[in-house]
Amino acid sequence: MKIPLTFAFLIIPYFSCFAEITGYWNFNYSLKATIGENLEWAWEQGDAAFGTTDTFAIPGIQGKSVNVLKFPDSDELSDFSGIEVYVGAELDEDNWLFNEYSIIVDILYPETSSTDTRAIVSNAPIEQASVIINGEGKIGGTSFHGEILANNWYRIAIVVSHSSNNINYYLDGNKVGQEAIGGLIDGEGEHSLGDFFYLFTTDELSKGGYISSVQFHNLALPDSVVSDLGGTTKLYEPADITLPGDEVVPTSDNSPGGEQAPNAIDDNPSTKYLNFDKVDTGLTITTDGGVVTGLALTSANDAPDRDPANYILSGSNDDGETFTEIASGDVPEFVERFERQTVSFENDLAYTTYELIFPTTVGPSSCCMQIAEIELLTGEPEAGGDEGNHIDSTVLAPFGFRFGFSINTDEEKSYMVEATGDFLQWNRIETINGTGSSVQFTDTRNEVFQYQYYRVRVAE
């Protein structure tokens, strides 16, 4: 008997190799890319800060607290002067600039910015921005459209097409305006891009706000695709099952008064847990339970030699009387302070108490071990079906020019991958036979410009 399982699965746009998303950035405590090349500060980080919508006391996204970047005012007196974005796409042989493209930004501006000019896109650092939001909350370049209110998340789409000689502006999937742009001269025109563009920088004052994500597509997206993208969302992000206030027990009390173990799960990277024992340090955390398949660790403010070098994670369901090892390995190198690194591993058992040990530090430190934040990550819950038949984890991953994902599979089970553009008609793409480990799927179909949602059905 076949038992369909519909679960909270990764929803991503599908484009063929002729038209793809070449950059996606999620601002998960760093400028690292989900797709494409990492972002860079146009000058310095300055007062820009990573955090969550909760820590910044701003509205969440889809009812949840998510990771965001708070960017400050940008002017000639500020260390912060925008973000450099490498588009990550290749030009065809007939062009030396990008003349067909789409930039999508999920953004919120506070009251303090709502009556001033806000730079969105600039073609070069510290020059007049080509797309702005004016003091009336309207977006444009030479004419201004729509209405952007304070303390609201908006998905702003900027679609440039020199083949149509226009630039279109969208808010939450709705077209709010269009501007005519002149033709190309020697392959260059208004809004033509090189390999980089810049966010939030101008040769004048630009007011600050919050950004949740940014995308770059190497084509002018059709109205239907932008409409399908809709409002502000986040691509799949594993959930952190630790909460500030959970019971935390350190491996020892050999810590300064203001740098105790609970700081590691307070959702505030500016605090830290420091332990002078240096080796085999760590903590146990009592949670509401979950199947943990990953860790996220955020480096503390100073002294890189104190960073953990490796980890051992164990779980318990008898209040910590006995522990079963779940995973162990190296901690990815922290290149910067307050940098968030993640590791993933296979696990299909839920525990309520987790013990995390850091055997050694990078240094080795002559002082101590320290860590700013610890997150125990679990996959999205399934939305139906029998307990025990589930997808353990999904991971967004570009495979060459196409989109795909990976799933943890069980032996002797089959997994049917299906896709739809309207949530009414689901088409089977492929059947995957379980191997007992992670299996990659890549959509190799040749449809062009089709926006797709994916799901997996498990059959017994």
Q: Which of 86-100, 112-126, 161-175, 197-211 has the least mean pLDDT?
A: 86-100
Residue of 185 and 308 predicted with greater confidence = 308
Pairwise CA distance, residues 98 & 219, whole Å: 9
Same fold, 27-229 and 239-378: yes
Domain 239-378, CATH homologous superfamily name and number: Galactose-binding domain-like (2.60.120.260)
Token duo for residue 184: 């190309």
Return left, alpha or beta for 195; rule: phi > 0 is left, psi -120 to 50 is alpha, else beta: alpha
For residue 229, give the 3-state DSSP assignment: helix
Tell me how many degrees the CA angle 124-126-127 measures, rounded to the nearest 5: 65
Q: What is the pLDDT of residue 412?
A: 80
Q: Provide the CATH number for the domain formed by 27-229 in this structure.
A: 2.60.120.200
Average pLDDT, the chain: 83
**Strand-by-strand arrangement of the 427-433 sheet:** 427-433, 414-420, 453-459
Q: Say if residues 421 and 443 touch (Cβ distance below 8 Å).
A: no
Nearest to 118 by CA among 88, 108, 248, 343: 108
Q: Say if residues 211 and 106 touch (Cβ distance below 8 Å).
A: yes
Return left, alpha or beta for 184; rule: phi > 0 is left, psi -120 to 50 is alpha, else beta: beta
Pairwise CA distance, residues 2 & 412, whole Å: 13
Pairwise CA distance, residues 408 & 444, whole Å: 20
| 1 pLDDT more than 50 | no
Report domain extents, the chain.
27-229, 239-378
Stretch 232-247: mean pLDDT, rounded? 79
Q: Please report where in the chains the tokens 């993208």 appear, as a residue.
A: 229
Tell me how many degrees the CA angle 120-122-128 measures, rounded to the nearest 5: 100
Token duo for residue 411: 């032996």
For residue 107, give the 3-state DSSP assignment: strand
Tell me, what DSSP letter sits at residue 28?
S
| 240 pLDDT more than 90 | no
Tell me, what DSSP letter sits at residue 41?
E
Q: Which residues lie below 8 Å from residue 297, measured CB to CB, with a gap of 6+? A: 308, 311, 331, 340, 341, 342, 343, 371, 373, 374, 375
| 136 pLDDT more than 60 | yes
Quickly list H helices, 79-118.
Answer: none
Token duo for residue 24: 């996606």
**Position 403 confidence tier, pLDDT thresholds 50, 70, 90:** low
Q: Say if residues 448 and 19 touch (Cβ distance below 8 Å).
A: yes
pLDDT tens digits, 16-51: 333 467 888 888 778 888 778 889 999 899 999 988
Q: Which of 201-215, 333-347, 395-409 has the least mean pLDDT?
A: 395-409
Q: What is the pLDDT of residue 20?
A: 63
Q: What is the pLDDT of residue 404?
A: 66
Q: What is the pLDDT of residue 437?
A: 77
Q: What is the pLDDT of residue 191?
A: 92
Note the pTM of the prediction, 2 decimals. 0.60
| 402 pLDDT more than 70 | no
Pairwise CA distance, residues 454 & 7, whole Å: 11
Q: Would you give the distance in Å from CA 329 to the centre of its chain?
A: 24
